[in-house]
Structure 1
Amino acid sequence: MSGVAPERWRDLRAVLFDLDGVLTPTAEVHQAAWRETFVGFFAAIGRDDALSGDDYLRLVDGKPRYDGVASVLDDRGLSLPLGTPEDAPGWDTVCAIGNVKNRAFTTILERDGVAPYPGSVAFLDAVVDAGLEVAVVSSSRNAPAVLRAAGLSHRFSLVLDGEAAARRSLPGKPAPDTYLAAAAELGWLPSQCAVVEDALSGVASGAAGGFGLVLGVARDQPRQALLDAGATAAVDDLGDIDLDLSGAPEDAWSLTTAGEAAPTEEDATVYSLGNGFVGLRWQGPGAVAPGEGTFVNGLHETWPITYPENSYGQAEAGQSMIAAPDARAFRLYVDEEALELGRTEVDHSHTRLDFRDGTLTSHVVWRTAQGSRVEVRVRQLVSFEERHLAVLDYQVRPLDSRATIHLVSGVAAPHGGDQVPTPEESDAATAPIDDPRKSDAVATDALQPVRSRAGEGTYTLGFRVKDSGMTLGVGTAHVVRFPEGASERGEVTHSNGEGAYTSVNVDLEPGEALRVSKYVTYHSSRRQPVEEMIERAQRSVGTALSLGYDRIVTAQQGWAERFWDRSDVVLSPTQPGLQRAVRWNLWQLAQAAARADGLGISAKGVSGNGYSGHYFWDTEVFVVPFLNYTTPQWARNALRARVTMLPKARERARVLNEEGALFAWRTINGDEASAYFPAGTAQYHINADISSAVFHYLMATKDRGFLTRGGAQILVETARLWMSLGFWRSNAAGRAFHLHGVTGPDEYTALVNDNLYTNVSAAFNLEVAAKALALLEREEPAAHAALVAELGILPGEPEAWLGAAQGMHIGFDESLGVHAQDADFLDKEVWDVPGTPREKHPLLLHFHPLVLYRFQVLKQADSVLALWLHSSRFTAGQKRADFEYYDPLTTGDSTLSATVQSIVAAEVGYAELALEYFEHALHVDLDNLHGNTSDGVHVASTGGVWAALVNGFGGLRDDQGSWSFDPRLPASWPSLSFCLTWRGTRVRFTLTAESLEASIADPGEGAPVSFEVRGTEYSLTQENPMLRVELDGQGPVLPGRPSFEHVTTLQRRDGSRLGPEHGPEHTAGSPAAGDLPDDD
């Protein structure tokens, strides 16, 4: 066996084969030809000598022909002029002798033929089936003839032989140049390619080139000799390698799909690329026309919201993310036939999203109407290092016959949106049911071209958004690489207008490849003129050209490696399917947040325009915690977006007759865009959610600069809002602070009094605001004085906040033994959740809000969310009782629910249910479980997946400003490992059933890290960087799940039962109680 595990091949993208001795036994033919040649030469000079088998291996094997002649002559102490390749066969020059050898080889080949090694053919088949590209790199100038004789010429898209090497002046083996050239022509880095060789010089070539794998084939050389020469592994025959990847562990580092069909909109989301600023949805090669698939963070249009019956303080202008000019525009014609998905026959199609470098590679083999096969590979990335840049690399190669290729690539102006009716159209009787999860449509001419500019090899377009006034610059450039000798056959033309296009025409021979690399850059602004955006786009596309494709890809690989070092959550190697899904979710967080750079992180990131591209509370609750503990700078950038919105939040509070600031429920530019205030503006808890994120960021980083330049301002102004909104009331139970007329996270209940989540969160907001001021007054009095002056903080104001926090009303029903979600919730009729058919989910699309508001039914976790985020405020018994009451009433119609339910289920002991909820959340988009993956990735749900792993199974709680662990590892999981960063020190935690291990993975500036495990405090320092805590089990274990019957059999204080005497007619035909709905 090779010593190379089958899954190792999944790390590669191409296999570069030597020919002689690897694929075909032509080494024997070559050896015979060399022997015959030197018999003639030595006879001609009158010397009694011969070329032995050992001489062949030592002096000739694997080398270019003329180099082999020179080696033999030098070994014999002889010298001759080099001559030229055109020399006639003879004995007077090195080239003449080499040509004698070539004539002898051709004669033997034509006379005896050659059959490939059966094991090599089987291995080649397995490599191709695994989706890897293949090429031949041979020193022989007869490689094409040998491949034809062996019946293999059609199997390889690239053959780089001795003739091609000579034309390019590439030194032969053992120099790595020929292999490096082949890898570059295929478009892969050496580290992504394997070299397969039988000669010592060839093995040395692969080792010197830094290839990802060098496999030696021990035909004439011992295995050890090949290994000593630099082979990664060696085999006697390629048939010895088990490359049946169907039986190997699944690849946990990439997501793949195959098939002839055009990508669905769900596929376009799942395989989308982004960096937080620019996003590209997947569009397969051969898509008929570009669509709305390129998005820029914050690029939006505004439009007036029309109310049939308006009232004071309503949101006035809608905001909708609009598509940018599409970087994916690409059409291909072969002999005047357009290659189109769904129309042209496809022999092979394979697409791979690689989490290790953020590239998306589509490989398609088309069969034209004339029966010719054409290979197309498209590799694209959105750069993390170059924030404004997307790169799309196209390679086209005819496989069977000469073909005329016409390729058109560019940037297409968008055609506008028509996915849902405009607000005016919604009034029409024929309008479809409105789905608030989708994007509002805007005018088709929202993005208006202003001017364009042609540079040296670049084109730049400038746009203005019609009503919002935003400006956009788009730069593009193409680098066209014709195959050697084909440039005189090729033609490149450019055109631009609303879009910018490059057209390439060339005649290609079989095996020749046309490669076109497209660089596209985007710059947008809410303030700067179009001309400035054009200048920026032109500069950044020039930077991309100077870097070049290979350097951009290499930089991307390095970036991804550093990301995974900080952010990966590692399961057992026995769980590759789960591991891949976990990494896909974590990668979406990078694609949504990494280069947002202060613009905010919307509900769909830059993967689509669902929810109109709006930012909500879920960024701070579900995404920022991941950022805090993996890449704190990204968290700071996300919170800076809220700092920039603070002036508009103050304005919104004034409109609602309140003090302080009220952040918009849904927004892009800071203005409120929610037209339905009961489930929008009334969700005042967004203030506390943002303040909580600020607090946790400050605790994790000790970033005093952010505290004094925005963080404290948010804490103070949100605290003031609660004091203005709330009021004190005394009754027989005492005096308490109340918050009325609010809506909690559960949007199936609105405009209530004393929502538990809102009250607990507001109390936390008030506390941390007062404590932040006290800290500044104590440690930075000058900064404190400046803040007091800036915000006009009155004496006694922080103390009033603390008083309100301590006196906050927390509703608890003694008869039911649970916290009340709000003042009236427990008095409502219970909705028959298990009796509601699946097709009626989500309820919001099938029942009027007034119907839902009358019942005890939850769209998503509400009180249960408070149990997690404010864990220390509840006892273990209260958590269990609350969870057992509210979980059966929760429909899970929101993708934000499953992870919260998983976390609390794990804590209270419902281990199997916790795992069920986790796996649901894990596959929300991968399996389109809520029916709207087409609108974009549910970014907050991906953050929730991280939380379910770290807070749920890892048992982390941090609501008191420090780390506390009480692990809950699933019984079926051997281990769980993750990293968390605290004030610059990165700690790796590894959890097993028996222990929790902690070690410093990166000391940073050397700050110690302290934390609790089940009540005992531990510390990691530079002197003691590792520790192990033995665990006595994984917490309580409860069977099954909380039942709906448990809720309906409880009695209120007045003796009435909670359960309905008979189910509503509209809920007939129910699934099993508590089942998760398949659709959203």
Structure 2
Amino acid sequence: MGPSLRAALGAGGHRGGRPGAHGARRHIRIRLTRSTAVHSVDRVLSPHQLPEDSVSASTAPHTPRPVPQRLRDARAVLFDLDGVLTPTADVHRHAWKQAFGEFFDHLSRSDALSDQDYLTLVDGKPRYDGVRAVLQDRGLSLPDGDPSDAPDFGTVCALGNRKNQAFTEILERDGVQPYPGSVAYVDHVVEAGLEVAVVSSSRNAREVLRAAGLAHRFPVVIDGQVAAARRLPGKPSPDTYLAGAEELGWRPSECIVVEDAISGVAAGAAGDFGLVIGVARDQPHSALLEAGADTVVDDLAELVKAGDDAVADTWSLSDPRAEDAPSLEDETVYSTGNGFLGLRWQGPDGGQHRNGTFINGLHETWRIAYPENSYGQAESGQTMIPAPDARGFLVYVDDEALELGRTEVDLAETRLDFRDGTLTSRTQWRTARGDRVEVRVRQLVSFEQRHLALFEYSVRPLDADAHIHLRSTLIDPGAADKVPSPAQADYAASGPEGIGDPRKSEAVDEHPLVPAGNWNDDGVDVLSFSVRNSGMTVATGVGHEVRYPDGGAGRARTGTRRSPDRLDEWVDIDLHAGEAVRLVKYVTYHSSRRQPALEMRSRAGRSVATAMRGGAASVFDQQAKWARAFWERSDVEVGGSLPATQRSVRWNLWQLAQAAARADGQGISAKGVSGNGYSGHYFWDTEIFVVPFLSYTSPQWARNALRARINMLPKARERARMLNEEGALFPWRTINGEEASAYFPAGSAQYHINADISSALSHYLQATADLDLLSSGGAEVFVETARMWLSLGFWRKASDGLHFHLHGVTGPDEYTALVNDNAYTNVMAAFNLEEAARTVQRLASTDPEAYRTLVTELALQPDEPEAWLAAAAGMFVGFDEALGVHQQDASFLDKEVWDVPGTPPNKHPLLLHYHPLVLYRFQVLKQADTVLALWLRSSRFTAEQKRADFDYYDPLTTGDSTLSATVQSIVAAEVGYAQLAMHYFLHALDVDLMNLHHNTSDGVHVASTGGVWAALVNGFGGLRDDDGVWRFSPRLPADWPSLTFRLTWRGTRVRFTVTRDRFEAFAETGTDPVEFFVNGEALRVVPGEGTVGTELRDQGPALKGSPSFASIVALQREDGSRLGPAVR
């Protein structure tokens, strides 16, 4: 079984022996009843699950390999013809009997070909091989002769041709009807998005398909004539099936073989195909299993279930469409990336619909112009710019361009596969002549080779011969034709223009890429550019491989057109109906802030050459292996029949991989590499919502993200000095480390960025005990951020003692700015101060050398840690006794209340419809602020305080930020609002998939995808870890039977499962035990010692409904005034 299909199950689905590389087969005993065989396949391919006990093997020296769970684990199905699709096996049997009956009469022998002779000696074999087998069995021999021999009895070929003559006569006289169950199964697999082909030993396969009315269903037919022309050995050799897989463009491991003959099953087994299905028309189940079938059915109808019984695919996102061009939102949702390189989906016609290729950190700069400037304002604007675009692929059929909106489309399907990391599309176009042409594209951005993107194209005329012209392009975005797609034109005409929307990317006045030279050698071309103002350099390398059908190379011409900012590679070829031409495109990107363009050209060229030497199949294999490893440590499984929820969960988790995996120290921007919304800037949300997921599942990625912040320390120190503070102040939004926020009240004033980074660093260090990072910059971050807080704040005496205050700051809620004592900021700053002091004290006692280095390099004074601890202990966090809630800031509760429920939907987000001064006057929140502190610093608050704060602030929160819903879900679950928690969770889950905030077109909301993981693990899983210990208090949704997730603690990966009445943990990897608490009970899981668990007596409070706005406006302030009536 092929590797891409083996991963679906663990040890279930045992099977009979499978031939090895040289055809040797281990024989094992099979215990099988017909009922179990039918039941097993009924679930394995229609669509998904094979029971572990369906087919069992004895304990022989054989390693059982798993059977695929899902039809969508495969990419194609290869059908035998006779006996599988059509009952022509009977026709063949009669023709063989007639031919040999006449032959034996000719020899005056009283002999006949029996049914058993047919099955044993002839069935499934090429015609002449069948003749030889019968002759040998009878102790006879004939000269081979030539295929052109007349039907007679003098040679092997003549006798074989006599059989063929008999077959044709019977077929013409009686006709043939396909098996209804087989037709239903063909429709079933095609509807599931798989491709199909016929692989038959018969030289009459095409005639049979036409007679049965099936010819139009199979664009690829490998029959006896094709095998003879290519000199392919017949079944049981796998060569004809391998040829079928190659014609469709898939590896054997991605294909299913369906056979009824022993020789055909053996061929599928010998080729190591993903799955071999036996159809027991004449052969017994046991014989087909022994020959190498993975499973056996009596009729293919058994593989087709009613739609209501189907378990939807949860490992991919599919988009079946007819003629629609991809929307800008689709370009985002189906984007591919690896954290360094990102490609937006280009649509089925391969045109340049939008700037769609992005490199992490590739940016332009400009001087920010202020009509009324002041000291300390951000000076340099930064925006991510599109890289040279290599996605272009244009197809012309008989000089007719295949274009959406112009050419008729019969079928267009796109699929983003989370399990193997690829994006595939299949489009059937209908030309002006009415002929169908199929275009397939398979692409990826490599996780193993971070500079590499790979495209595999296939073009096949289905109905008629055609002249095909293919053109592959590499274009500087500034040189591309400025023609919008229909979706863009509609969007511009009817959608928001984005004027004044801070969520979008700033426009650059001049085209930023300046050609800096090109290079070509040995089939590899490279274009290089410099960025006009930032001085960065970028180079893109391209290499192509063309795969022709048999004899096609002689009918083809190729060429290249080069210019400083564009490359066009083209192929012209005449194809017969059913033939395919394939183009493989290797693309690499290199960029730098320091190295010249010449160096980038050299690197890009080498990367292309390296990838081409390894081959496309190797790249696809590497990608699938990488994806399997990611899911082994990162998957979150929602129990029960919730396929849509599970699919959306995995899409969100996959976006985290695409944004972070190969960022490799560049930082993780708000949109990853899926678009340049927010100008490609890095914000605080990476540290709060993304790094925790990375720390617990892929700690090296978390380390790389934190290294990006450590590398910004020099500029953060400069920024602190500019704002008259000590230590370091990290930029609110940036690419290159400099502050890029031109609106300081909602930007630079968000000093909490320092605490957010320190919190993420602390979280990572707790999870990994990575002392090397601590000593190579981590400790400096703690010290310098703590110094900033101490210099920013001040002490003030009150009736209850001295308090440390932070004034003139902005918290996460950007509808409230420049306030005093923002609760979130103060709580997080206190933690930052405490963690800095603990770090210094820990270094002093455990690593004196590192401590001395820190003291020397930072001029650290002995009394500083004590001052930090004192400030943390005295940090003021306001509490309103009359309302019974924490003050979001010192003046928030004195404001009038915004009429949140009375604000019409078309006025959201408020920031696009109201001046900041209007918003700042009211109690209204863009996103969770104090409530965020309740989650992140959970141990600081009591259960009663959390409930009261949530009840107050939740109705005032507009959710205009995508960061809000997950936080509200987590805290709602904890305090007992189960239905509200699910409401917020589902909103976050689909915020991009359903474009709920109307800006998915700008790129994926990466922090929100991290928040989805947090809502699952911290919300429903109930994890709190702010004190460095795992404490679980689960809140499983009522309609979820279970929730399973994985967390890694210092090298030991633990799988946690929550059900309604039990909590269990199992150490999947590692050597060290892990201790944790569940509802206060201490548990310890040890690798190799099995599952530990505890009963769940309850899952927290159960509150009905949700906090109401009316209850807030009815409250009274301390002076007796009411909070209402509501305003606005």
TM-score range, shorter chain: over 0.9
- CA displacement, residues 57-93 of structure 1 (integer Å, 9 cap, x when unaligned): 1011111222222222222233445455455555454
- Determine whether 1:481 maps to 2:547: yes
Give aligned-pair identity as a percent: 67
Check conservation: 1:438, 1:609, Cα contact below 8 A. Answer: yes
CA distance, structure 2, for counterparts of residue 432 and residue 1040 of structure 1? 37
What's the counterpart of residue 1019 of structure 1? Answer: 1084
Residue identity opposite 1:604 in structure 2: K
CA distance, structure 1, for counterparts of residue 363 and residue 422 of structure 2? 27
Check conservation: 2:1066, 2:1087, Cα contact below 8 A. Answer: no
Check conservation: 2:1067, 2:1088, Cα contact below 8 A. Answer: no
What's the counterpart of residue 1033 of structure 1? Answer: 1098
- Determine whether 1:306 maps to 2:369: yes
Select between 401-410 and 72-81 the one with higher mean Cα deviation.
72-81
Equivalences for residues 276-295 of structure 1 within 5 A: 276-295=339-358
Following superposition, the deviation at residue 471 of structure 1 comes to 0.7
Check conservation: 2:439, 2:459, Cα contact below 8 A. Answer: yes
Check conservation: 2:640, 2:1041, Cα contact below 8 A. Answer: no
Measured at CA, do residues 488 and 243 of structure 1 come closer, stay the same or move farther in structure 2, by a change above 3 Å? farther
What's the counterpart of residue 914 of structure 2? Answer: 847
CA distance, structure 1, for counterparts of residue 108 and residue 279 of structure 2? 38
Check conservation: 1:726, 1:737, Cα contact below 8 A. Answer: yes
What's the counterpart of residue 1010 of structure 1? Answer: 1075
- Determine whether 1:7 maps to 2:72: no
Following superposition, the deviation at residue 186 of structure 1 comes to 1.3
What's the counterpart of residue 422 of structure 1? Answer: none
What's the counterpart of residue 17 of structure 2? Answer: none
- Determine whether 1:19 maps to 2:81: yes
What's the counterpart of residue 450 of structure 2? Answer: 387
Residue identity opposite 2:783 in structure 1: V
What's the counterpart of residue 931 of structure 2? Answer: 864
Secondary structure of the structure 1 residue equivalent to 2:172: helix
**Unaligned residue ranges in structure 1 (runs of 5+):** 420-429, 1068-1080
CA distance, structure 2, for counterparts of residue 412 and residue 27 of structure 1? 55
What's the counterpart of residue 540 of structure 1? Answer: 607
What's the counterpart of residue 439 of structure 1? Answer: 505
CA distance, structure 2, for counterparts of residue 96 and residue 703 of structure 1? 78
Following superposition, the deviation at residue 32 of structure 1 comes to 2.2
Secondary structure of the structure 2 residue equivalent to 1:580: helix
CA distance, structure 1, for counterparts of residue 657 and residue 497 of structure 2? 37
What's the counterpart of residue 1075 of structure 1? Answer: none
What's the counterpart of residue 1121 of structure 2? Answer: 1056
Residue identity opposite 2:777 in structure 1: G
- Determine whether 1:1047 maps to 2:1119: no
Check conservation: 1:17, 1:137, Cα contact below 8 A. Answer: yes
Residue identity opposite 2:392 in structure 1: A
What's the counterpart of residue 791 of structure 2? Answer: 724
Following superposition, the deviation at residue 220 of structure 1 comes to 1.4
Secondary structure of the structure 1 residue equivalent to 2:132: helix
- CA displacement, residues 915-972 of structure 1 (integer Å, 9 cap, x when unaligned): 1100110010011000000000000000000000000010001101121111111111
Equivalences for residues 510-525 of structure 1 within 5 A: 510-525=577-592
Secondary structure of the structure 1 residue equivalent to 2:740: coil
CA distance, structure 2, for counterparts of residue 963 and residue 577 of structure 1? 30
Residue identity opposite 1:38 in structure 2: F
Check conservation: 1:688, 1:762, Cα contact below 8 A. Answer: yes
Measured at CA, do residues 342 and 243 of structure 1 come closer, stay the same or move farther in structure 2, by a change above 3 Å? farther
Following superposition, the deviation at residue 331 of structure 1 comes to 0.9
- Determine whether 1:296 maps to 2:359: yes
Check conservation: 2:479, 2:566, Cα contact below 8 A. Answer: no
What's the counterpart of residue 196 of structure 1? Answer: 258
Measured at CA, do residues 436 and 1021 of structure 1 come closer, stay the same or move farther in structure 2, by a change above 3 Å? same
The count of residues paired between Structure 1 and Structure 2 equals 1051
Q: Determine which of 233, 236, 240 is the counterpart of 1:171.
A: 233
- Determine whether 1:812 maps to 2:879: yes
Check conservation: 2:1068, 2:1087, Cα contact below 8 A. Answer: no
TM-score normalised per structure 2: 0.91
Following superposition, the deviation at residue 548 of structure 1 comes to 1.4
Measured at CA, do residues 35 and 2 of structure 1 come closer, stay the same or move farther in structure 2, by a change above 3 Å? farther
Following superposition, the deviation at residue 11 of structure 1 comes to 2.5
Select between 624-633 and 212-221 the one with higher mean Cα deviation.
212-221
Following superposition, the deviation at residue 550 of structure 1 comes to 1.6
Equivalences for residues 264-275 of structure 1 within 5 A: 264-275=327-338
Residue identity opposite 2:534 in structure 1: S
Check conservation: 2:1032, 2:1078, Cα contact below 8 A. Answer: yes
Check conservation: 1:492, 1:503, Cα contact below 8 A. Answer: yes
Following superposition, the deviation at residue 210 of structure 1 comes to 2.6
Instruction: Output the aligned Cα RMSD.
Output: 1.7
CA distance, structure 2, for counterparts of residue 31 and residue 908 of structure 1? 74
Secondary structure of the structure 1 residue equivalent to 2:371: coil
CA distance, structure 1, for counterparts of residue 497 and residue 553 of structure 2? 55
- CA displacement, residues 188-207 of structure 1 (integer Å, 9 cap, x when unaligned): 23232221111111112222
Secondary structure of the structure 1 residue equivalent to 2:712: helix
Secondary structure of the structure 1 residue equivalent to 2:98: helix
Following superposition, the deviation at residue 1048 of structure 1 comes to 1.1
Residue identity opposite 1:307 in structure 2: Y
Check conservation: 1:415, 1:444, Cα contact below 8 A. Answer: no
CA distance, structure 2, for counterparts of residue 104 and residue 469 of structure 1? 78
Q: Determine which of 922, 942, 947 is the counterpart of 1:875.
A: 942
- Determine whether 1:50 maps to 2:112: yes
Q: Determine which of 114, 124, 146 is the counterpart of 1:62.
A: 124
Residue identity opposite 1:7 in structure 2: P
- CA displacement, residues 662-703 of structure 1 (integer Å, 9 cap, x when unaligned): 111001111111000001110000000001110110010000
Following superposition, the deviation at residue 617 of structure 1 comes to 0.2
Check conservation: 2:963, 2:1008, Cα contact below 8 A. Answer: yes
CA distance, structure 2, for counterparts of residue 199 and residue 273 of structure 1? 42
CA distance, structure 2, for counterparts of residue 262 and residue 803 of structure 1? 61
What's the counterpart of residue 596 of structure 1? Answer: 663
Residue identity opposite 2:736 in structure 1: N
Secondary structure of the structure 2 residue equivalent to 1:810: coil
Check conservation: 1:965, 1:1012, Cα contact below 8 A. Answer: yes
CA distance, structure 1, for counterparts of residue 1105 and residue 445 of structure 2? 45
CA distance, structure 2, for counterparts of residue 733 and residue 567 of structure 1? 48
Secondary structure of the structure 1 residue equivalent to 2:1121: coil
CA distance, structure 1, for counterparts of residue 694 and residue 376 of structure 2? 35
Measured at CA, do residues 205 and 444 of structure 1 come closer, stay the same or move farther in structure 2, by a change above 3 Å? farther
CA distance, structure 1, for counterparts of residue 264 and residue 677 of structure 2? 53
Check conservation: 1:304, 1:317, Cα contact below 8 A. Answer: yes
Residue identity opposite 2:1121 in structure 1: S
Check conservation: 2:826, 2:877, Cα contact below 8 A. Answer: yes
Check conservation: 1:416, 1:443, Cα contact below 8 A. Answer: no
Q: Determine which of 276, 279, 285 is the counterpart of 1:223.
A: 285
Following superposition, the deviation at residue 2 of structure 1 comes to 6.0
- Determine whether 1:78 maps to 2:140: yes
CA distance, structure 1, for counterparts of residue 1119 and residue 1055 of structure 2? 53
Q: Determine which of 404, 407, 423 is the counterpart of 1:360.
A: 423
Check conservation: 1:410, 1:476, Cα contact below 8 A. Answer: no
Select between 695-704 and 728-737 the one with higher mean Cα deviation.
728-737
What's the counterpart of residue 985 of structure 2? Answer: 918
- CA displacement, residues 863-906 of structure 1 (integer Å, 9 cap, x when unaligned): 00000000000011111111111001100000000000000011
- CA displacement, residues 774-803 of structure 1 (integer Å, 9 cap, x when unaligned): 111111111111121111111111111111
CA distance, structure 2, for counterparts of residue 140 and residue 243 of structure 1? 31
Equivalences for residues 773-792 of structure 1 within 5 A: 773-792=840-859
Residue identity opposite 2:521 in structure 1: G
Following superposition, the deviation at residue 411 of structure 1 comes to 1.6
CA distance, structure 2, for counterparts of residue 938 and residue 929 of structure 1? 11
CA distance, structure 1, for counterparts of residue 711 and residue 242 of structure 2? 49
Check conservation: 2:125, 2:235, Cα contact below 8 A. Answer: yes
Following superposition, the deviation at residue 287 of structure 1 comes to 4.8
CA distance, structure 1, for counterparts of residue 845 and residue 143 of structure 2? 88
What's the counterpart of residue 3 of structure 2? Answer: none
**Unaligned residue ranges in structure 2 (runs of 5+):** 1-37, 49-70, 485-495
- CA displacement, residues 822-847 of structure 1 (integer Å, 9 cap, x when unaligned): 11111111111111111110000000
Select between 170-179 and 662-671 the one with higher mean Cα deviation.
170-179
Check conservation: 2:408, 2:429, Cα contact below 8 A. Answer: yes
TM-score normalised per structure 1: 0.95
Check conservation: 1:2, 1:234, Cα contact below 8 A. Answer: no
What's the counterpart of residue 398 of structure 2? Answer: 335
- Determine whether 1:826 maps to 2:893: yes
Secondary structure of the structure 1 residue equivalent to 2:388: coil
Measured at CA, do residues 999 and 288 of structure 1 come closer, stay the same or move farther in structure 2, by a change above 3 Å? closer
